[in-house]
Amino acid sequence: MINLDRNDLVDWLEHVKIYANNGKVVDYIPALANQQPETNAVAFYPLGKENDVIHAGQADYYFTIQSISKVIALALALIQQGEQAVFSRVDKEPTSDPFYSVAKLEVEKPAKPFNPMINAGALAVTNMIRGRNSTDMVEEILTLIRLMANDESITFDHEVAQSEYETAFLNRALCYFMKQHGVITGSIEELLDVYTKQCAIQMNVKQLARIGAVFANDGKDPDTNEEIIPDQVARICKTFMVTCGMYNESGTFAINVGIPAKSGVSGAIMGVIKESGGIAVFGPALNDKGNSVVGIRFLEKLAEEKHWSIF
Ligand code: DON
């Protein structure tokens, strides 16, 4: 029984939208710099056929999912390569560093990024996705995302992908370091092509909430209960969302909200409410950790009103 209705979403979004004034739209990816800070949207996709998705704000607005794609790429790599292979190249520990940090790469011997949610770890994960070339690899990611969102039309935004590809100097540096240490293999340009396209996958909050609902349903389709990802893979992904999903704000977020969640620098956050459904919030003004200010405030309100913290 899900006692959440559209009016709750409308009220809470109205209550928190003012916080957009406290944030700043990302500008290190030039094509994202013109996002409007006052745009906002939220959707909740409940489990069970009998319930419909509910939403508030600009729920048809399309944004790129950026780092939220890291969770799906991780699920895919785990399905294709297995736990042992994946965790031989990336570790399971949170860092207190920003998502783009190079610092910790020198800490572990042999070199290994700390977790799959920071950029270094995500690049190592994407490097493990099957495919003869970058087009195949992007197609593999899109296939899984389309299944989870139940929408065949989902694709990536060429302009955003290209804009990041042309300016991803730090991500290139992470790749060169990791290649030197044998963490990644093959062409770095091809890897960046896949990675920037996966980050530029576009959708609206309703579709993103459905992806959250698959995780909330332990990897099964929220309407048909058919398995999309194995429950053990879903469990690993959700655990990373708790420990690393909000980057170096994950501890504070766990205390203040307490639901597995993943953010992206476009301003989107996907949350997983076990046995209830998936939630997605969008608001492009970010705090200094790279997380949506409106998104965080909204989820704080939701967790407080509904007692949805898992802790
Ligand atoms: O690699 C990057 O920097 C971006 N494509 C994604 C970073 C991101 O979304 C971090 N999220 N808060």
Mutate to test the pocket of ligand 1, among 67, 289, 291 (most ligand atoms within 8 A of CB): 67
Q: How many residues belong to the chain?
A: 311
Mean local confidence (pLDDT), 139-145? 98
Tokens of 3: 């006692």
- Say if residue 2's pLDDT is above 80: no
pLDDT one-digit tens code per residue, 17-36: 999 999 999 999 999 999 99
Distance CA 101, CA 220 (A): 34
The answer to whether 67 is a known ligand-binding residue is: yes
Mutate to test the pocket of ligand 1, among 119, 157, 172, 296 (most ligand atoms within 8 A of CB): 119
Residue labelled with tokens 């990816």: 29
Tokens of 82: 């297995």
Q: Which ligand 1 atom is nearest residue 289's CA? A: 12
- Say if residue 176's pLDDT is above 90: yes
Active-site residues, by number, are 67, 70, 195, 247, 265
Centroid of chain to Cα 86: 18
The conformation of residue 201, written as its DSSP 8-state character, comes to B
Mean local confidence (pLDDT), 43-62? 94
Here the contacts of 97-103 (C-beta below 8 Å, separation 24 or greater) are 97/248, 98/247, 98/248, 98/289, 98/290, 99/67, 99/247, 99/248, 99/290, 100/170, 100/171, 100/174, 102/170, 102/173, 102/174, 102/177
pLDDT one-digit tens code per residue, 220-229: 999 999 999 9
Q: Residue 223 Cα, ligand 1 centroid: separation in angstroms?
A: 30
Q: Residue 226 Cα, ligand 1 centroid: separation in angstroms?
A: 31
Residue labelled with tokens 């704080």: 300
Cβ neighbours of residue 280 closer than 8 Å, sequence gap 6 or more: 41, 42, 43, 45, 205, 206, 207, 208, 209, 211, 212, 268, 269, 270, 271
pLDDT one-digit tens code per residue, 217-265: 999 999 999 999 999 999 999 999 999 999 899 999 999 999 999 999 9
State whether residue 125 is helix, strand or coil.
helix
Mean local confidence (pLDDT), 282-300? 97
What pLDDT does residue 109 have? 78
Band of residue 100 on the pLDDT scale cut at 50, 70, 90: confident
Neighbours of 111 (CB within 10 A): 17
ipTM of the complex: 0.97
Q: Which helix (H) or strand (E) holds 248?
A: none
The answer to whether 171 is a known ligand-binding residue is: yes
Mean local confidence (pLDDT), 153-157? 98
Q: Which ligand 1 atom is nearest residue 291's CA? A: 12
Tokens of 27: 């500008």
The answer to whether 195 is a known ligand-binding residue is: yes
Q: Residue 245 Cα, ligand 1 centroid: separation in angstroms?
A: 12
In percent, the amount of the chain with pLDDT more than 90 equals 91
The answer to whether 247 is a known ligand-binding residue is: yes
Q: Residue 282 Cα, ligand 1 centroid: separation in angstroms?
A: 15
Report the phi/psi class of residue 36: left, alpha or beta, with left for phi > 0 and alpha for psi in -120 to 50.
beta
DSSP letters spanning 154-182? --B-HHHHHHHHHH-HHHHHHHHHHHHTT
Residue labelled with tokens 């006052």: 38
Distance CA 185, CA 231 (A): 29
Higher per-residue pLDDT: 112 or 55: 55
The pocket around ligand 1, CB under 6 angstroms, is made up of: 66-67, 99-100, 119, 164, 171, 199, 247, 263-265, 290
Say whether pTM exceeds 0.90: yes
Least Cα distance to 77 among 201, 237, 261, 215 occurs for 237
Question: Which domains are assigned to the chain?
Answer: 6-63+203-305 (3.40.710.10), 67-199 (1.10.1500.10)
